[in-house]
């Protein structure tokens, strides 16, 4: 039955369920139709869900008599404006993800609930008191002095949450400052922080060229890749371009990876721009995130800085997008709605007609390829802003060398030499825990996870076993369950073991370990970093948590213990990630006046890609890696989508994927590779397999995926598996 034009429109809504397409409902009320982008409450099956109106339709596939009415309209004004809704609908199509789930991902959690607490949250802050007679804190009350300086840095109140993130435990020193009459608590009007205008440093020549170029490109859509070695002053270049956008009264969206969005970066923004700044990262509460989102939507935030999901912040006055560390893997969501925030940002900039700057010391191969093809302008900062030289990178061949807690003798000698000179040393190993496996010396048994095809990792000095894939956690056995031997040995090394070995070798040196286990407590990372900055800590051991953003003047030696994993992996991007990590970590050394050096332990000193990295740097590596990718037809020369399936039994994923493969008409432009078991065939008790769809042209990939989107759910094997589509997968694990 076809509805007449004069009848009220049908609301097509997106419901947060794993089903493609919209669902039709009748509007309620007799005023104007509920606007597109509004949240409405609907009955869906037996549930009541928050849905978003995505279209007004005049006819429906559902018979009019069977259409239900929505139950309530939740907002006075649409939560998603036309631009954001358009972007999200594009992203749902591009990533072949159900639109309702995609939309739900974009909304702050607090706004996804059926009932919304409309009262804005209270935001505590502090401001300097105008008290003439107040006493300054004692000279040795370091924390009080630091806090006071931060609060006095701007005439605006400073958010308590910012101080907490920057300094760790702040309760007692803040109370002390308040008792002295130096500061006073205030209620902030919202979740935004207000910065203060600061002076920009005089730019170096390369920086000036980059800024001039960026400004000359104008205010329309222009993608730019800013490639600058670590410490070359990219942030300063972004800032000067941002100043122009802000001066024109427009908003800036600044994306940073989780570990790059440091309190130092926020502090730099806060002391540079007389602007309202909204910060969106995982440490903020749901309420705070919702408040920043609302403030951005109202146009009150001038700068929004955030991690991956901030790309979906509503910004009515958007004028510029910056994506810092654009190569970072955390921009790709790894479950559910698997979007890539850099690529969505690119689309958003294009759609809005605003410039976008992607910055990195080690650009993704895709971005370098785009620059080569002249799709992106390519600006380079080949030197450090401070004039410091880049450190040489050399290898230590550890074949047939004994290792002490993962460290070779030559590595220990380098550490000793730099410590003796009064400098700082950083040891990098991308594996937390004590050792990656526990093995029986007599029969070769290796402690397995009961639910995953992976060995358990030793923790707590060897006392406990943990699975890094499913979270299993148990005491280490006293004897081998297979042969009864008590000769159990820890194989390999993780951060805990390396730190322990260094402690026994250098008992008088203060050592700090940086990994997810040791830094679990809020504020701990910041206080540990402060001890490194002050020079109290001389030796740092850590995971990639150490790779970015930190700037220590006395750090002259960096050791990398495990590059080999990146050379021989089932994942075609592993070598790229290894090269990025090595280059980033190396960038930590010799940033001050002292020259630095970097040592890599490897069993494969002749590996061609490692060789290229050492002889020609990241650019040389990237050229070699791109050649390999072209020969293999891999991204950016080929286009991939991964169909994943998993189930409690081994057979169903394979059967389902075979049925899926049979629905694709393969030709010279499109192929199905697989199905094959995933590199880790069983995880958390589920058997996993995948099928790779490969297209020589992107234009060929999407029609095939559209077809899958229509037919997969109806395949006979679909009910026995959990499946998902991953477009442009970052890894094949």
CB 266, CB 305: distance < 8 Å: yes
Which residue number, 180 or 469, has a Cβ lying nearer to Zn ion? Answer: 469
> Per rule CB under 6 A, is residue 127 in the interface with ligand ADP?
no
Choose from Zn ion, ligand ADP, none: what does 363 bind? Cβ within 5-8 Å by kind.
none
Tell me which of Zn ion, ligand ADP, none is bound by residue 201, counting a contact when its beta carbon lies within the kind-specific cut-off of 5 to 8 angstroms.
ligand ADP
Site string for Zn ion, 441-480 (x = CB under 5 A): -xx-x---x-xx--------------x-xx-x-------x
Name which of 384 and 682 has its Cβ closer to ligand ADP: 384
**Part of the chain binding ligand ADP (CB under 6 A), chosen from 62-70, 227-235, 440-448, 479-487:** 227-235
Distance CA 136, CA 211 (A): 42
The residue (of 396 and 586) whose beta carbon lies closer to ligand ADP is 586
Q: Which residues of 420-441 are buried (b: 16+ CB within 10 A; e: fewer)?
A: eeebbbbbbbbbbbbbbbbbbe
| Contacts of the segment 667-672: beta carbons below 8 A, 24+ positions apart | 668/696, 669/695, 669/696, 669/697, 669/700, 670/694, 670/695, 670/696, 670/700, 670/701, 670/704, 671/695
Q: Is 440 one of the binding residues for Zn ion (CB under 5 A)? A: yes
How far is CA 703 from each of CA 85, 96, 295, 644, rounded to the nearest angstrom?
Answer: 23, 11, 39, 18
Least Cβ distance, residue 384 to ligand ADP (angstroms) = 7
Give the residue, chosen from 29, 185, 201, 484, that forms a contact with ligand ADP under the rule CB under 6 A: 201
Q: Which is nearer to Zn ion, 282 or 487 (CB)?
A: 487
* Token pair in block for residue 435: 């050792």
User: Quick one: which of 73, 203, 574, 711 contacts ligand ADP (CB under 6 A)?
Assistant: 203
Phi, psi of 672 (to 5 degrees): -105, 125
Give the nearest distance from C-beta 652 to ligand ADP in angstroms: 48
Residue with tokens 């191969």: 365
Nearer to Zn ion, 208 or 482 (CB): 482
- Which of the listed partners (Zn ion, ligand ADP, none) does 440 bind, with a CB threshold of 5 to 8 Å by partner kind? Zn ion
Range in contact with ligand ADP (rule: CB under 6 A) among 21-29, 174-182, 199-207, 402-410: 199-207
Shortest Å, Cβ 635 to ligand ADP: 26
Q: Applying CB under 6 A, which of residues 98, 157, 204, 287 lies at the interface with ligand ADP?
A: 204
Binding mask 612-651 for ligand ADP (x = CB under 6 A): ----------------------------------------
Is there binding between residue 555 and ligand ADP (CB under 6 A)?
no
Smallest gap from Cβ 392 to ligand ADP, in A, equals: 19
Residue 159's binding partner out of Zn ion, ligand ADP, none, with CB under 5 to 8 Å set by partner kind: none
Q: Tokens standing for 592?
A: 């001050």
Minimum Å distance from CB 442 to Zn ion? 5
Contact 512, 531 (CB under 8 A): yes
Site for ligand ADP in 535-554 (CB under 6 A): 551
Considering only 228, 314, 436, 559, the residue that binds ligand ADP (CB under 6 A) is: 228
Q: How far is the CB of 491 from Zn ion (least distance, A)?
A: 13
Q: Smaller CB distance to ligand ADP: residue 324 or 343?
A: 324
Separation CA 554–CA 422 (nearest Å) = 8
Task: Rule CB under 6 A: say whether 232 interacts with ligand ADP.
Answer: yes
Backbone angles phi, psi at 676, to 5 degrees: -135, 155
Is-contact 123 175, C-beta < 8 A? no
For tokens 């229509």, name the residue.
Answer: 710
Binds 235: which of ligand ADP, Zn ion, none (CB < 5-8 Å by kind):
ligand ADP
Residue 236's binding partner among ligand ADP, Zn ion, none (Cβ under 5 to 8 angstroms by kind) is: ligand ADP
48 three-class SS: strand
Residue in 235, 251, 370, 466 binding ligand ADP, rule: CB under 6 A = 235
Q: Is 207 in the site for ligand ADP (CB under 6 A)?
A: yes
Using CB under 6 A as the binding criterion, the count of chain residues that bind ligand ADP stands at: 16
Interface stretch with ligand ADP, choices 65-73, 223-231, 502-510, 598-606 (CB under 6 A):
223-231
**C-alpha to C-alpha distance for 492 and 603, rounded to whole angstroms:** 14
Q: Which two tokens stand for residue 133?
A: 């007679």
Rounded Cα distance between 476 and 494, Å, is 16
d(CA 36, CA 177): 51
Task: In angstroms, give the least distance from the CB of 206 to ligand ADP.
Answer: 9
Contacts of ligand ADP in 304-363 (CB under 6 A) = none
Which residues sit opposite 641 in a β-bridge?
A: 693, 727
Of 201-209, 214-222, 420-428, 488-496, which segment contacts ligand ADP by CB under 6 A? 201-209
Under the binding rule (CB under 6 A), the answer on residue 386 touching ligand ADP is yes
Long-range contacts (CB closer than 8 Å, 24 or more residues apart) made by 246-251: 246/273, 246/275, 246/302, 246/303, 248/219, 248/319, 249/317, 250/317, 250/318, 250/319, 250/320, 251/296, 251/299, 251/301, 251/302, 251/303, 251/304, 251/315, 251/316, 251/317, 251/318, 251/319
Residue 188 makes CB contacts below 8 A (sequence gap 6+) with: 123, 124, 125, 157, 159
270 binds ligand ADP (CB under 6 A): no
Taking CB under 6 A as the criterion, the residue among 37, 125, 233, 363 binding ligand ADP is 233
Q: What angle do CA 727, 322, 237 make, to 5 degrees?
A: 140
Which residue's entry shows tokens 């003047």?
A: 553
Residue number, 203 or 470, with CB nearest to ligand ADP: 203
Taking the C-alpha atoms of 63, 64, 70 and 75 in order, what is their torsion angle to the nearest 10 degrees?
Answer: 110
* Interaction of residue 385 with ligand ADP, rule CB under 6 A: yes
Q: How far apart are CA 540 and CA 502, in angstroms?
A: 10
Residue 691 token pair: 């099928």
Report the distance separating Cα 305 and Cα 237, nearest Å: 16
Per CB under 5 A, 28 contacts Zn ion = no
16, 100, 231, 355: which one binds ligand ADP (CB under 6 A): 231
Q: Which residue's CB is nearer to ligand ADP, number 190 or number 587?
A: 587
Q: Is 488 in the site for Zn ion (CB under 5 A)?
A: no
Residue 233 interacting entry, from Zn ion, ligand ADP, none, C-beta within 5 to 8 Å by type = ligand ADP
Measured distance CA(218)–CA(230) in Å, rounded: 27
| Residue closer to Zn ion (CB basis): 124 or 469 | 469
| C-beta separation of 265 from 235 below 8 A | yes
Give which of 665, 667, 664, 668 is closest to 643, Cα–Cα: 664
- Residue closer to ligand ADP by CB (options 322, 393) is 322
> CA of 546: how far to CAs of 235, 358, 411, in Å?
19, 22, 19
Q: Does 62 bind ligand ADP (CB under 6 A)?
A: no
CB of 233 to ligand ADP, least distance (A): 3
Answer for the pair 291, 297: CB distance below 8 angstroms, yes or no: no
From candidates 230, 240, 245, 537, binder to ligand ADP by CB under 6 A: 230
Looking from the CA of 516 toward its CB, the CA atoms found within 13 Å total: 9
Binding-site partner at residue 483 among ligand ADP, Zn ion, none, CB < 5 to 8 Å by type: Zn ion
The dihedral through the CA atoms of 434, 437, 443, 448 has a sign that is positive
Residues that bind Zn ion (CB under 5 A): 440, 442-443, 445, 449, 451-452, 467, 469-470, 472, 480, 482-483, 485
Residues that bind ligand ADP (CB under 6 A): 201-204, 207, 228, 230-236, 385-386, 551
């Amino acid at each position: 039955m076809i509805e007449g034009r004069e009848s009220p429109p049908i609301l097509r809504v997106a419901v947060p369920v794993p089903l493609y397409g919209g669902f039709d409902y009748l509007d309620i009320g007799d005023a104007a139709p509920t606007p597109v982008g509004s949240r409405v409450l609907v009955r869906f099956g037996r549930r009541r869900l928050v849905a978003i109106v995505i279209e007004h339709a005049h006819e429906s596939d559902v018979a009019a008599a069977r259409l239900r009415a929505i139950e309530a309209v939740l907002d006075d004004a649409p939560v998603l404006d036309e631009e954001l809704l358009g972007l999200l609908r594009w992203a749902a199509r591009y990533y072949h993800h159900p639109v309702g789930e995609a939309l739900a991902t974009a909304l702050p959690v607090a706004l996804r609930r059926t009932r919304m607490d409309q009262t804005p949250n209270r935001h505590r802050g502090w401001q300097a008191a105008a008290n003439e007679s107040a006493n300054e804190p004692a000279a040795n009350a370091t924390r009080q002095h630091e806090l006071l300086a931060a609060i006095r840095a701007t005439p605006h109140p400073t958010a308590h949450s910012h101080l907490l993130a920057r300094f760790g435990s702040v309760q007692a020193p803040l109370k002390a400052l308040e008792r002295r009459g130096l500061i006073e608590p205030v209620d902030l009007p919202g979740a935004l922080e207000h910065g203060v205008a600061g002076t920009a440093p005089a730019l170096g020549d390369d920086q000036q060229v980059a800024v001039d170029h960026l400004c000359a490109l104008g205010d329309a859509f222009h993608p730019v890749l800013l490639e600058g070695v670590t410490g070359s002053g990219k942030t300063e270049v972004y800032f000067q371009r941002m100043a122009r956008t802000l001066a024109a009264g427009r908003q800036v969206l600044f994306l940073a990876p989780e570990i790059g969005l440091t309190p130092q970066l926020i502090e730099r923004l806060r002391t540079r721009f007389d602007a309202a700044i909204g910060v969106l990262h995982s440490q903020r509460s749901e309420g705070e995130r919702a408040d920043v989102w609302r403030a951005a939507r109202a146009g009150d935030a001038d700068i929004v800085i955030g991690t991956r999901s901030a790309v979906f912040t509503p910004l009515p006055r958007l004028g510029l997008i910056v994506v810092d560390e654009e190569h970072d893997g955390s921009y790709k969501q790894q479950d559910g709605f698997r979007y890539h925030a850099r690529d969505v940002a690119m689309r958003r900039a294009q759609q809005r007609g605003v410039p976008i700057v992607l910055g990195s010391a080690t650009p993704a191969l895709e971005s370098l390829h785009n620059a080569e093809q002249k799709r992106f302008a390519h600006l380079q900062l080949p030197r450090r802003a401070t004039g410091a030289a880049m450190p040489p990178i050399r290898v230590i061949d550890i074949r047939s060398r004994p290792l002490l807690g993962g460290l070779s003798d030559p590595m220990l000698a380098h550490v000793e030499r730099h410590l003796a000179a009064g400098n700082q040393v950083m040891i990098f190993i991308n594996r937390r825990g004590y050792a990656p496996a526990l093995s029986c010396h007599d029969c070769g048994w290796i402690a397995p996870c009961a639910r995953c095809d992976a060995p358990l990792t030793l923790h707590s000095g060897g006392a406990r076993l943990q699975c890094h894939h499913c979270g299993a956690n148990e005491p280490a056995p006293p004897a081998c369950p297979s042969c009864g031997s008590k000769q159990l040995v820890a194989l390999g090394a993780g951060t805990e073991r390396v730190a322990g070995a260094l402690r026994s070798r250098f008992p008088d040196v203060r050592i700090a370990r940086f990994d997810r286990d040791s830094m679990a407590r809020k504020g701990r990372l910041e206080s540990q970093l402060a001890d490194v900055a002050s020079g109290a800590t001389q030796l740092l051991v850590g995971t990639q948590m150490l790779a970015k953003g930190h700037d220590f003047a006395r750090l002259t030696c960096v050791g990398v213990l495990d590059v080999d994993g990146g050379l021989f992996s089932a994942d075609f991007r592993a070598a790229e990630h290894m090269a990025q990590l090595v280059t980033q970590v190396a960038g930590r050394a010799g940033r001050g006046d002292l020259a630095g050096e970097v040592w890599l332990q490897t069993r494969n000193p002749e590996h061609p890609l490692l060789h290229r990295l050492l002889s020609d740097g990241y650019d040389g590596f990237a050229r070699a890696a791109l050649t390999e990718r072209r020969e293999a037809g891999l991204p950016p020369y080929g286009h991939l989508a991964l169909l994943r399936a998993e189930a409690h039994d081994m057979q169903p994923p394979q059967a389902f994927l075979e049925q899926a493969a049979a629905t694709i008409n393969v030709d010279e432009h499109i192929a199905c590779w697989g199905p094959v078991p995933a590199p880790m065939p069983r995880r958390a008790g589920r058997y996993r397999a995948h099928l790779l769809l490969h297209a020589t042209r992107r234009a060929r990939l999407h029609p095939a995926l559209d077809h899958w989107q229509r037919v997969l759910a109806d395949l006979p094997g679909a009910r026995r598996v959990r499946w998902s589509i991953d477009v442009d997968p970052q890894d094949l694990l």
